[in-house]
Amino acid sequence: MPARSSAFNVRAVEELFGHTTALPDERIRITLADGRAFVVDGQRLVQQDDGTYLIAINDSDRAQLSASQSRDLDDAPARKRHV
């Protein structure tokens, strides 16, 4: 499992890339390159020979990613329409 005080590169089986942030418990926050984020149990990360980690995205992760994307859209500034 990644050290709690460090960030590591991570790759999802689906060819998504991002970085990890260790949380105070055994969970890891994964932030993808596109800004979406989700939290997983650290034991799900599989360390690779090059020092990066691999994770298979499951339905729960997809739900978190979808919610993360929705929050980002809700937080985006409203665009003014000129008529």
**Which pLDDT value is given to residue 81?**
34
Q: Is 58 left (phi over 0), alpha (psi -120 to 50) or beta?
A: beta
Q: Which residues contact 29 (CB under 8 A, 6 or more apart)?
A: 20, 21, 22, 23, 37, 38, 39
76 vs 24: which has the higher pLDDT? 24
Under the banding of pLDDT at 50, 70 and 90, the label for residue 68 is: confident
State yes or no: pLDDT of 63 exceeds 60: yes
The structure's pTM equals 0.70
Q: How confident is the prediction for the chain on average, in pLDDT? A: 78
Smallest CA-to-CA distance from 13 within 51, 50, 44 is with: 44
